[in-house]
Structure 1
């Protein structure tokens, strides 16, 4: 990409989208196309086509979508399917129609079968049924991934690049205990437990499932590399992970330490665990030249510091 290239970041206020904006600006890219949801509803095809016609983006990072944890997935499965399918279909169609040079679409580790050999290699996609508690979201992201590959196959190009990051975290995450993912939700809950002086905190499940976490800034670093390098020989999709996972119990203990909470952690084993393990095999992308640079504990501290600095505003909005 040229520093003057027009780059559209869909979902620029979210976790990964905001990390992309930071990375691009730090690297010297100044022609960023940013639109709030109130300005551009990506579920409306006419609105998306009009935006692409007016602005003619050369590159697109599709980081917009309906996301959430187990509760959200279980409560609103139709909303998850409708919103994500519509956004992906509309943006990819417009990107193809208006000649976008490269587009990055984000999949999810929940697309892999629930019972999948670990670490999970890209070839294992569609070899089994995903975890039921996130099935609607998984199906929608599988559809987006396959649409990228279908365009590349049908038109003999490699313009659409689906990447599969594992559980992302960092500044601008969703810290709502109900709708957020596990790491950000736990940060909020441990922070509130410390603030109120609670003697104990009760968490869902057994604490035994293992999860891999990657800082959003590392994701942005990888995506910038993919946008700038020749990816025509890179097998798609590509996993994007650190190669290290932790039990949810270990995660809770690390967050408690960062927050400074010293009460008891109680596990409600009547609540679901989700998939037993979701560790990605990121060899394909590592061999291409990308490696993570942010270690987990420093990323946790960075994320909690950001949350504390923005806690009052976040809690007022939730």
Structure 2
């Protein structure tokens, strides 16, 4: 029987989950990462039964319905209801099973659309949300507050939340129907290269700014956190503290892919918030920073894309 701490990882087949499981220090833990076929987290009774049966020492909650602007705008009900159900069920099943330590993974989309950048943790619920992903954001706020309320009622429940900035990397979703910005750019620019296309379209003027961190770096922060959970802030952004314009991300991908065409802008398309840069002051005090450069991260993501591009 293993003496390693037993960690139940939800979303273990997603991008963040897979990066956690392949991290060098993952071997220090006994991970249990059920698939959606093993466990439907939308079903409270089944979730409670699973948690009670396996009695984890720790829960890392990364599961959820995710997607880019197009998916969020097309399916706001699903992004709200499914993520509320999943967050509630995982968190409440953890309490029912006697789990004292839970790390809830949230999203920077929780911040108000007009909040001053960099986004500080105390700004949550201080303004109107970005309409293009409001349903998803509300679900994430619900899970955050539920963790806080449970700790308030019972201080032994260390239910903490990380708010990562935007992510990309290996195991990302590159299908245009589901992808976020960087994997979508990789797909578009790669197709332009193989099809000898001279132009690639950018939504909006490309001046909106975003902060994207390589997913392997988030995995590193999570594994460091669960190794010494008492020192982790109850609520903390995890990011780079620097951002780039959408145009700059396109240029970075074009350099990695080795495509030399021109970009054209469609000014009729939605672009979301003009800037979304998280404050990393709490993260700095915790003593952690991301190590992967933008070009290195895009190169790793592109290598992975080339291996899976025939799947869609």
Which residue of structure 2 lines up, in the alignment, with residue 271 of structure 1? 269
- Residues 238, 283 of structure 2: 8 Å contact kept: yes
**Using the alignment, how far apart are the partners of 1:66 and 1:26 within structure 2?**
27
Q: Does 1:74 align with 2:76?
A: no
**Using the alignment, how far apart are the partners of 1:163 and 1:106 within structure 2?**
5
Which residue of structure 2 lines up, in the alignment, with residue 201 of structure 1? 200
1:11-62 Cα offsets, whole Å, 9 max, x none, are 1111111111112x64423521121111211000111011112111111111
1:171-209 Cα offsets, whole Å, 9 max, x none, are 111112132111111111111111111121112111011
- Residues 3, 28 of structure 1: 8 Å contact kept: no
Which residue of structure 1 lines up, in the alignment, with residue 14 of structure 2? 14
Which residue of structure 1 lines up, in the alignment, with residue 161 of structure 2? 162
Unaligned runs of 5+ in 2: none
Which residue of structure 1 lines up, in the alignment, with residue 60 of structure 2? 61
**Using the alignment, how far apart are the partners of 1:239 and 1:179 within structure 2?**
24
Give the direction of change, closer, same or farther, for the CA distance of 1:129–1:238 in structure 2 (3 Å limit): same
Distance apart, 1:286 and its partner CA:
1.5
What is the correspondence of 1:96-111 to structure 2 with a 5 Å cutoff?
96-111=95-110
Which residue of structure 2 lines up, in the alignment, with residue 223 of structure 1? 222
RMSD: 1.5
Which residue of structure 1 lines up, in the alignment, with residue 298 of structure 2? 300
What is the correspondence of 1:235-314 to structure 2 with a 5 Å cutoff?
235-312=233-310, 314=311
- Residues 204, 269 of structure 1: 8 Å contact kept: yes
Which residue of structure 2 lines up, in the alignment, with residue 191 of structure 1? 190
**Using the alignment, how far apart are the partners of 2:185 and 2:259 within structure 1?**
12
1:37-95 Cα offsets, whole Å, 9 max, x none, are 11211000111011112111111111110111111111100000111000010010110
Which residue of structure 1 lines up, in the alignment, with residue 46 of structure 2? 47
**Using the alignment, how far apart are the partners of 1:121 and 1:231 within structure 2?**
22
The alignment partner of 2:37 has SS state of coil
Distance apart, 1:230 and its partner CA:
4.3
- Residues 20, 26 of structure 2: 8 Å contact kept: no
More deviation in 136-145 or 28-37?
Answer: 28-37
